């Protein structure tokens, strides 16, 4: 990938900790506009922490997070969503007693957009995930796992983000549904120019989808490269791809 | 609990008997342990002040027997008409009837409420009771914002009721300000205290929040009792002015409303005025809540109840969201308190005990958290029922405890458990009717 003069998101020497436990120990990640970047690694490597630190919870102890060249390291959590960064958190976390329509509306509430823009975004979400349109009057909690994931992504898209952070979108999903989700992400990237940072345990899927990838071990980035390169690396194959995972 | 899936009634009975006996036996055993000391041994101070006691085996045996029999009856009732597969047993005609009632119940109740003073004009007792019920409806609706919508368990709601009541009581008696000036002030002061409570509990949820709010309710009451120079302590505040009809007093004087309208004075006028006053306040609470639910702030409250982490990820400021929920709920509590003060003419700390908080919370939970109609129905049953069973004297709490347990068994989400969604697609969409039904489930 050709790198733009200012990357959309640049993370430099980021440290974060939960109490005394250091979760990030100097992470450097760069995401250019229009890219899909995958972040892979084992459980507890700090992938989700990195994603949450971008949102300021937990706060970075050291290092910088630059978004479009602007330092957002100390911006309050609730204001980050207004910068058109959206997050689909781990475990989906949709609002179970609220309807699908309300869940989607929640995504749009935090951003200032006109009714027409909101309608257009909603139509876009429905065209990506027609199931959500079928189910828009249902309560979120009555959806299947895959539909809930679609709703979580749809809800994040409602804020019309430039950068979408996806935490484990294929977690607990049937392979076929996971493929649909990944297809939708690819479509969003190609047609809408959405930049995506995706955290995944399913390294094979994620690296095939992504332009570039980072491998995280114990709070540090140990490898970086294009998706295809990383897929070929023997240590990646040994650590994340073989060992029972098929596909 | 009812682990026996029954295809036919006969099968369930044969499979259920050992289970029934086991449950009943366990319950009887618990009753035995409880009652053996509470009832089984009677202690009294003897003639010389010494302790005398004797055992009452018969009473214990009767109680344990009653528990044994009672738990069999309850278990049987649960198996036959309980929630397991109950929906299929309701015939469609009854279902459509229920939905018809559901649609017209709220308007019908409202029209009836508006007509109460006309129908029961000469029955002071019923009018007083109706005012009391409406006060609790309003308190329930106010607390509903905090507990039902925002999901913040508040056990100290009575504190805001007290702040409202004392605000009006003290401002009116000290400065002679009229009710209509003090009413908004009482609301603002209560909201201020709501925010004050909100700040320290921002990071708390669930049980921990409940404990702190419980303590807050007690603190306010204790401050009122002990700050004698301001609040009069346990003696309370008396001589609180009655409300006026926008400056025109409702009394027998020449300036009174009756004299101005040229009609004969009757003390019922004031009662009817109070009735419509609390009705207007309650409806205001309801209207504001319904409006807020459709605005981003109301949706944020509900989302906060569902998932706080997701809220933050969506750019919701959870701090202000929680504080506005506390403030809004407290404000309505303050209005209700000001009304209480003007109705009674006398307030004392005794009116603001934890029991009031518990009662209002019970109304919200029984009514179905978040449901406006459910809260109104629960207030009506709780307060109205309290009066209805007055003749039962000591047993009335027992009856109530039982009724609450039964409601929670059969309708664990409250009388009206379903919540209406607030967002629809703007364009009318053609969708099959069964999809819509599923959504309301």
Asked if the C-beta of B419 comes within 8 angstroms of chain A's C-beta atoms, the answer is yes
Report the C-alpha gap between B49 and B274 in whole angstroms.
Answer: 53
Q: Residue B436: its chain A contacts at CB < 8 A?
A: 137
Cβ proximity of B409 and A110 under 8 Å: no
Q: Which mean pLDDT values do the consecutive 10-residue runs of chain A (247 residues) have? A: 72 93 93 94 89 90 94 91 90 91 90 87 94 91 93 94 93 91 94 94 89 93 91 84 51
State mean pLDDT over B345-354.
93
Nearest to A78 among B317, B425, B435 (CB): B317
CB atoms within 10 A of CB B204: 16
> Looking at residue B412, what is its pLDDT?
80
> Looking at residue A187, what is its pLDDT?
95
* Strand ranges in chain A using DSSP code E only, listed in sequence order: 9-18, 21-31, 36-41, 62-67, 70-71, 85-88, 163-167, 195-200, 212-217, 220-226
Ordered by start, the domain boundaries in chain B are 9-89, 120-410
Six-digit token pair at A191? 């047609």
Nearest to B439 among A78, A138, A159 (CB): A138
> Looking at residue B97, what is its pLDDT?
74
> Looking at residue B6, what is its pLDDT?
43
Residues linked to residue A165 through DSSP beta bridges, in sequence order? A87, A197
CA of B316 to nearest chain A CA: how many angstroms apart? 5
> Three-state secondary structure along B264-288?
CCCCHHHHHHHHHHHHHHHHHHHHH
CB contact under 8 A, A101 and B423: yes
Cβ proximity of A110 and B316 under 8 Å: yes
> Looking at residue A201, what is its pLDDT?
84
Give the pLDDT band of residue B7 (cuts 50, 70, 90): very low
ipTM of this complex > 0.90? no
CB contact under 8 A, B422 and A102: yes
Give the torsion sign (CA, A184, A185, A191, A192).
positive
Would the pLDDT of B18 be above 90? no
Q: Residue A55: its chain B contacts at CB < 8 A?
A: 312-313
Range in B152-161, B308-317, B321-330 with the lowest mean pLDDT: B308-317
Ordered by start, the domain boundaries in chain A are 1-84+196-247
Q: What angle do helix axes B372-379 and B124-144 make, rounded to 10 degrees?
A: 140
Chains A, B: CB contacts within 8 A come to 100
pTM score of the predicted model: 0.80
Asked if the C-beta of B306 comes within 8 angstroms of chain A's C-beta atoms, the answer is yes
Whether CATH 1.20.1070 fits B120-410: no
Q: Residue A76: its chain B contacts at CB < 8 A?
A: 317
Nearest to B314 among A57, A97, A107 (CB): A107
State mean pLDDT over B89-111.
76
Asked if the C-beta of B300 comes within 8 angstroms of chain A's C-beta atoms, the answer is yes
- Mean pLDDT (chain B) is 84
Nearest to B309 among A89, A122, A138 (CB): A89
CB contact under 8 A, B422 and A97: no
Asked if the C-beta of B317 comes within 8 angstroms of chain A's C-beta atoms, the answer is yes
Extract long-range pairs of A118-123: CB within 8 Å, 24+ residues apart.
A118/A158, A119/B426, A121/A157, A121/A158, A121/A160, A122/A158, A122/B425
Q: Residue A95: its chain B contacts at CB < 8 A?
A: 302-303, 306-307, 310
Residue B136's φ and ψ, nearest 5 degrees, are -75, -30
A110 to each of A66, A155, A242, how far by Cα in Å? 22, 11, 42
Report the C-alpha gap between B415 and B375 in whole angstroms.
Answer: 8
Would the pLDDT of B93 be above 90? no
CA of A14 to nearest chain B CA: how many angstroms apart? 20
Q: Residues B267, B271, B276, CA angle at the centre, nearest 5°?
A: 145
Report the C-alpha gap between A237 and B5 in whole angstroms.
Answer: 49
Asked if the C-beta of B214 comes within 8 angstroms of chain A's C-beta atoms, the answer is no
Report the C-alpha gap between A237 and B181 in whole angstroms.
Answer: 75
Report the C-alpha gap between A47 and A221 in whole angstroms.
Answer: 10
State mean pLDDT over B102-125.
88
CB contact under 8 A, A105 and B309: no
State mean pLDDT over B316-342.
95
CB contact under 8 A, B425 and A82: no
Nearest to A87 among B296, B305, B313 (CB): B313
Question: Strand, coil or helix: what is A3?
Answer: coil
CB contact under 8 A, B307 and A55: no
CA of A28 to nearest chain B CA: how many angstroms apart? 22
Q: Residue B306: its chain A contacts at CB < 8 A?
A: 95-98
> Looking at residue B432, what is its pLDDT?
40
Nearest to B314 among A57, A76, A106 (CB): A106
Query: For the segment B226-276, what is each residue's pLDDT rounded down to a tens digit?
Result: 999 999 889 999 999 888 877 777 777 777 777 777 788 888 888 999 999
CA of A104 to nearest chain B CA: how many angstroms apart? 9
**One CATH from 2.120.10.30, 3.40.50.300, 3.40.309.10, 2.40.50.140 for A1-84+196-247:** 3.40.50.300
Q: Which residues contact A190 (CB under 8 A, 6 or more apart)?
A: none
Would the pLDDT of B422 be above 80? no
- List residues of chain A with CB under 8 Å from any CB of chain B: 55, 57, 76-82, 87-89, 93-99, 101-102, 104-107, 109-111, 115, 119, 122, 134-139, 142, 155-156, 159
CA of B418 to nearest chain A CA: how many angstroms apart? 9
Report the C-alpha gap between B354 and B255 in whole angstroms.
Answer: 41
């Amino acid at each position: 990938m050709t790198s733009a003069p200012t990357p959309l998101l640049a993370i430099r020497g980021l440290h974060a900790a939960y109490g005394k436990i250091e979760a990030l120990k100097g992470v450097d990640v760069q995401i250019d506009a229009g890219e899909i970047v995958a972040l892979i690694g084992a459980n507890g490597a700090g992938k989700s922490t990195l994603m949450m630190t971008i949102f300021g919870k937990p706060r970075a102890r050291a290092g910088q997070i630059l978004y479009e060249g602007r330092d957002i390291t100390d911006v309050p959590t609730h204001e980050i969503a207004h910068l058109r960064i959206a997050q689909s958190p781990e475990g989906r976390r949709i609002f179970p007693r609220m309807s699908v329509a309300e869940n989607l509306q929640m995504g749009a509430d935090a951003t200032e957009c006109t009714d027409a823009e909101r309608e257009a975004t909603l139509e876009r979400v429905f065209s990506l995930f027609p199931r959500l349109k079928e189910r828009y009057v249902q309560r979120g909690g009555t959806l299947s796992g895959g539909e809930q994931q679609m709703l979580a992504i749809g809800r994040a898209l409602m804020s019309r983000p430039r950068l979408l952070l996806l935490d484990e979108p294929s977690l607990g999903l049937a392979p076929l549904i996971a493929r649909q989700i990944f297809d939708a992400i690819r479509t969003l990237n190609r047609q809408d120019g959405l930049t995506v940072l995706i955290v995944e345990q399913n390294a094979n899927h994620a690296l095939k989808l992504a332009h570039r990838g980072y491998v995280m071990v114990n709070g540090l980035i140990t490898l970086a490269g294009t998706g295809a390169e990383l897929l070929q690396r023997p240590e990646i194959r040994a650590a994340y791809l073989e060992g029972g995972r098929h596909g | 609990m009812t682990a026996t899936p029954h295809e036919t009634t006969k099968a369930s009975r044969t499979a259920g008997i050992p289970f029934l006996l086991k449950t009943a036996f366990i319950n009887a055993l618990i009753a035995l342990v409880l009652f053996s000391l509470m009832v089984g041994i009677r202690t009294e101070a003897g003639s010389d002040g010494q302790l005398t006691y004797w055992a009452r085996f018969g009473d214990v045996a009767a109680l344990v027997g009653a528990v044994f029999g009672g738990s069999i009856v309850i278990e049987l009732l649960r198996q036959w008409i309980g929630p397991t597969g109950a929906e299929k047993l309701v015939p469609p005609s009854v279902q459509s009837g229920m939905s018809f009632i559901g649609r017209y119940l709220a308007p019908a109740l409202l029209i009836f409420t508006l007509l109460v003073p006309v129908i029961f004009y000469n029955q002071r007792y019923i009018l007083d009771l109706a005012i009391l019920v409406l006060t609790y409806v309003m308190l329930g609706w106010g607390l509903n914002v905090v507990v039902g919508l925002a999901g913040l368990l508040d056990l100290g709601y009575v504190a805001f009721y007290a702040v409202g009541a004392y605000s009006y009581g003290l401002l009116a008696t000290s400065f002679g300000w009229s009710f209509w000036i003090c009413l908004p002030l009482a609301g603002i002061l209560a909201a201020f205290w709501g925010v004050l409570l909100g700040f320290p509990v921002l990071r708390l949820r669930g049980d921990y929040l409940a404990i702190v709010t419980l303590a807050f309710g007690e603190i306010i009451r204790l401050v009122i009792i002990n700050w004698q120079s301001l609040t009069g302590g346990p003696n309370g505040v008396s001589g609180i002015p009655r409300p006026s009809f926008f400056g025109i007093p409702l009394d027998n004087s020449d300036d009174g409303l009756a004299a101005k309208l040229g009609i004969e004075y009757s003390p019922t006028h004031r009662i009817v005025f109070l009735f419509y006053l609390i009705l207007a306040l309650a409806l205001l609470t309801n209207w504001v809540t319904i409006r807020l639910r459709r605005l981003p702030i109301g949706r944020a409250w509900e989302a906060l109840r569902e998932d706080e982490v997701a809220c933050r990820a969506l750019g919701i400021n959870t701090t202000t969201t929680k504080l506005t929920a506390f403030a809004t709920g407290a404000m309505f509590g303050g209005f209700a308190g000001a009304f209480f003060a003007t109705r009674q003419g006398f307030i004392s700390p005794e009116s603001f005990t934890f029991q009031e908080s518990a009662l209002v919370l019970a109304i919200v939970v029984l009514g179905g958290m978040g449901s406006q109609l459910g809260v109104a129905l629960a207030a009506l049953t709780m307060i109205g029922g309290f009066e209805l069973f007055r003749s039962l004297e000591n047993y009335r709490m027992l009856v109530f405890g039982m009724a609450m347990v039964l409601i929670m068994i059969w309708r664990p989400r409250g009388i009206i458990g379903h919540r209406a969604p607030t967002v629809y697609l703007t364009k009318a969409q053609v969708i099959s009717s069964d999809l819509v039904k599923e959504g309301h489930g």
